[in-house]
Chain A
């Protein structure tokens, strides 16, 4: 433990920096498990209704824009890559690279959200906004609406997590600018990275359940 680091970073409840690092990491992992149960409830409900109404859910999925969805998936995976590079740079002790990769991650995250909200707007124009403006030429419009209800709840909950993630990235960036992230102490960026990767993984599953089923009706 280098003497100039300890007073800067060690919180009073901990005995040493190693304990503090393990604690922060374990805390984020448990939070992620909890988040999995949050999304898990929605995945279960979606699965139940897809089993009830396979036809309607395929028709609903056919209304998705597979190109925008696929591009967005690629975009988000790129942001995970830059996030991983940011954590790696922090471990290497390069403040400048951390700044660059954090900004890149935030920018790519914003691109994702812009594409996502463009999609929402297109759904609205297509009269695919459940509860607001919904009609469908399908045989069973009510069941297709159910598909869109889950689509909106789950992707909007995901988008909310993206906004929280952008907030965390901003916080991490400010900590780095203030010199509080070093090769000896990089808890902040490490747990932010865990969270960011987690919401990326959630998206991969959302992509699979909402965009893929309509490809081969």
Chain B
């Protein structure tokens, strides 16, 4: 009944109006949306750099941009995509929005810290954009010494400080999530009744809190070395450049799991909802998240097989890298077993989730190739590595992010997106992605090195395919931007639970009221209990 607008109950969007009500909000839902806006902008900026790189690689010669510019393009693409899109992508948007809702809380444990984290994120972003505007950085996103500390003439210090500042926003978010999941759960919501989304976010937060400070301190040492001209990592002055690589990858390998665990979190929600079945092997999936987070700290050495580390260290890291495939495979098998025999509906979130499983599996399997010492020496620093980690980060994380955005869009906006065009965009993304990155596996295996603006003519055809795929992928990414925003204004009302999914977030209005629930919910059954949900829905109708 919309007889009078004043009678419509207020939700978090209509509670307060005006730009200041957004900039000073402590509502986790609004902060989630602030983050979504910011990272979307960074996604398209980083994507723009990638597109320029693919255009340059359309021909074997260096003709669109100069080699120096190309170096800056791949560096800024990496920095922006890793720290200003992928790391915050799912945790700071969907995690921020849905962790409190999934556990029946009014907000995160520290709402002001949550808002502060967004401002710190934007400050770090501002410093990085400054480095970009002054001409960018050409060291690669890895900042390898001594090139970054002694030889590069670009704005390394500004970029390093930008990332360092950004790291504190990550730590604040991780801390907030851990405390929230420990202390803010609704009555009756035991650990083993938690949605896997929360388990995976908890594992992600562990890494955020433990690994990010090491990156911060490593980049601080790089900045100090560059500014004071002392030799922390410079072999000419007694420093050890391989120590930098150890410290950098001690963060940056776990950071891969910061990026992909949230993707697994989202997929673990979507698969049961669209299969109408409980998640197969709940405890195995839950503990495999924790196992990935813990093992992730002990595999960094596989980035350094050719850096002159000892052969025993290489063998150990190779073995440990094989181990981490086990919990990842446990997840894949359990998701597949969940779909098996389910009443599957192929709505857009499910398309993305299934795409995630396939692409993540390819990315994970090729990761095993790279963990094998002999093969790694052959394909190190080739396009094989590029293809491998893009299958994880783009095929995995970005697919899951888009799947999650579509899945929860009715809850966030209160409106349904247009299903037909959304499915079309999911298919476009999937096709464009594979056309872009599958040829790169072959290129790498044939020996095309990464980070060069030019290449021998025999690689031409595969590079043309890859660039063609990138343009299709770009179309697939732009489409949701338009139809989602369109649906926010013109889409049909979604109702509280359009997917008939389990989970506390679906038991409240769409969009939710400011404190999420009119009455704090009491949980009496586990996550994904579709039998219990069916009975509940029948009782209502």
Q: Is A208 an interface residue (CB 8 A)?
A: no
Name, among B214, B216, B230, B247, the residue most crowded by chain A CB atoms within 10 Å (CB to CB): B230
Q: Are B184 and A30 in contact, with the CB atoms below 8 A?
A: no
Binding site for B on A (CB under 8 A): 11-13, 15, 19, 22-23, 26-27, 30-31, 33-35, 37-42, 44-45, 48-49, 52-53, 130-132, 140, 142-143, 145-146, 149, 153
Q: Complex formed: what's the CA distance from A26 to B237 in Å?
A: 43
What residue of chain A has the Cβ atom nearest to residue B167's Cβ? Answer: A38
User: Which stretch in B36-44, B70-78, B220-228 binds the other chain?
Assistant: B220-228
Q: Are B240 and A146 in contact, with the CB atoms below 8 A?
A: no
* A45-B183 contact given A13-B108, A149-B232, CB 8 Å threshold: no
Q: Complex formed: what's the CA distance from A165 to B111 in Å?
A: 22
Q: Are B209 and A142 in contact, with the CB atoms below 8 A?
A: no
Residues of A within 8 A of B211 (CB): 37
Q: Complex formed: what's the CA distance from A44 to B217 in Å?
A: 11
Residues of B within 8 A of A11 (CB): 111
Residues of B within 8 A of A12 (CB): 106-107, 515
Q: Are B217 and A27 in contact, with the CB atoms below 8 A?
A: no
Residues of A within 8 A of B213 (CB): 34-35, 37-38, 40-41
What does the 1/0 interface line of B161-200 toward A look like (CB < 8 Å)? Answer: 0000000000100011011001110000000000000000
Q: Are B228 and A132 in contact, with the CB atoms below 8 A?
A: yes
Q: Complex formed: what's the CA distance from A33 to B212 in Å?
A: 12
What does the 1/0 interface line of B503-541 toward A look like (CB < 8 Å)? Answer: 000000000000100001000000000000000000000
Q: Are B109 and A23 in contact, with the CB atoms below 8 A?
A: yes
* A131-B229 contact given A13-B111, A19-B183, A41-B247, CB 8 Å threshold: yes
Residues of B within 8 A of A40 (CB): 213-214
CB < 8 Å: which of A34, A52, A146 contacts B237? A146
Q: Are B247 and A143 in contact, with the CB atoms below 8 A?
A: no
Q: Complex formed: what's the CA distance from A52 to B239 in Å?
A: 10
Name, among A19, A27, A143, A153, the residue most crowded by chain B CB atoms within 10 Å (CB to CB): A27
Q: Is B110 an interface residue (CB 8 A)?
A: yes
CB < 8 Å: which of A22, A34, A45 contacts B221? A45
Q: Are B175 and A30 in contact, with the CB atoms below 8 A?
A: yes
Other than the given A12-B107, A19-B184, 18 more pairs (CB < 8 A) read: A13-B108, A15-B520, A19-B183, A23-B110, A23-B184, A30-B175, A30-B179, A31-B175, A33-B210, A34-B210, A48-B243, A52-B238, A53-B238, A131-B227, A146-B230, A146-B231, A149-B230, A153-B220
8 Å CB contacts to A: which residues of B129-143? none
Residues of B within 8 A of A130 (CB): 228, 230
8 Å CB contacts to A: which residues of B234-257? 237-240, 243, 247, 250
Q: List 18 A-B contacts (CB under 8 A).
A: A13-B107, A13-B109, A23-B183, A27-B175, A33-B210, A34-B209, A34-B210, A34-B213, A38-B213, A41-B214, A41-B217, A45-B221, A45-B232, A45-B247, A131-B228, A140-B238, A145-B237, A149-B231
Residues of A within 8 A of B175 (CB): 27, 30-31, 34
Q: Are A146 and B239 in contact, with the CB atoms below 8 A?
A: yes
- Tell me how far the C-beta of B331 lies from the nearest C-beta in chain A, rounded to whole angstroms: 26
What residue of chain B has the Cβ atom nearest to residue A131's Cβ? Answer: B228
- Tell me how far the C-beta of A64 lies from the nearest C-beta in chain B, rounded to whole angstroms: 18
Q: Are B109 and A38 in contact, with the CB atoms below 8 A?
A: no
Q: Is B350 an interface residue (CB 8 A)?
A: no
Residues of A within 8 A of B237 (CB): 142, 145-146
Q: Complex formed: what's the CA distance from A135 to B330 in Å?
A: 58
- Tell me how far the C-beta of A151 lies from the nearest C-beta in chain B, rounded to whole angstroms: 12
Q: Complex formed: what's the CA distance from A42 to B106 in Å?
A: 39
Residues of A within 8 A of B239 (CB): 146
What does the 1/0 interface line of B104-122 toward A look like (CB < 8 Å)? Answer: 0111111100000000000
Q: Complex formed: what's the CA distance from A111 to B341 in Å?
A: 71
Residues of B within 8 A of A42 (CB): 217, 221
Q: Are A38 and B243 in contact, with the CB atoms below 8 A?
A: no
Residues of A within 8 A of B224 (CB): 149, 153
Q: Are A38 and B214 in contact, with the CB atoms below 8 A?
A: yes
Q: Are A27 and B218 in contact, with the CB atoms below 8 A?
A: no
Residues of A within 8 A of B108 (CB): 13
Residues of A within 8 A of B216 (CB): 38
Q: Complex formed: what's the CA distance from A44 to B224 in Å?
A: 17
* A131-B111 contact given A13-B106, A34-B175, CB 8 Å threshold: no
What residue of chain B has the Cβ atom nearest to residue A11's Cβ? Answer: B111
Q: Are B218 and A22 in contact, with the CB atoms below 8 A?
A: no
Q: Complex formed: what's the CA distance from A88 to B209 in Å?
A: 30
Q: Are B210 and A37 in contact, with the CB atoms below 8 A?
A: yes
Q: Are A38 and B111 in contact, with the CB atoms below 8 A?
A: no
Name the 8 nearest CB pairs between A and B, nearest first. A131-B228, A38-B213, A41-B217, A13-B107, A37-B213, A41-B214, A23-B183, A13-B106
- Tell me how far the C-beta of A98 lies from the nearest C-beta in chain B, rounded to whole angstroms: 24
- Tell me how far the C-beta of A128 lies from the nearest C-beta in chain B, rounded to whole angstroms: 12
Residues of A within 8 A of B247 (CB): 41, 44-45
Q: Complex formed: what's the CA distance from A116 to B110 in Å?
A: 34
Residues of B within 8 A of A35 (CB): 213
Residues of B within 8 A of A145 (CB): 230-231, 237
Q: Complex formed: what's the CA distance from A111 to B218 in Å?
A: 31
- Tell me how far the C-beta of B39 lies from the nearest C-beta in chain A, rounded to whole angstroms: 23
CB < 8 Å: which of A30, A34, A45 contacts B243? A45
- Tell me how far the C-beta of A199 lies from the nearest C-beta in chain B, rounded to whole angstroms: 15
- Tell me how far the C-beta of A2 lies from the nearest C-beta in chain B, rounded to whole angstroms: 22
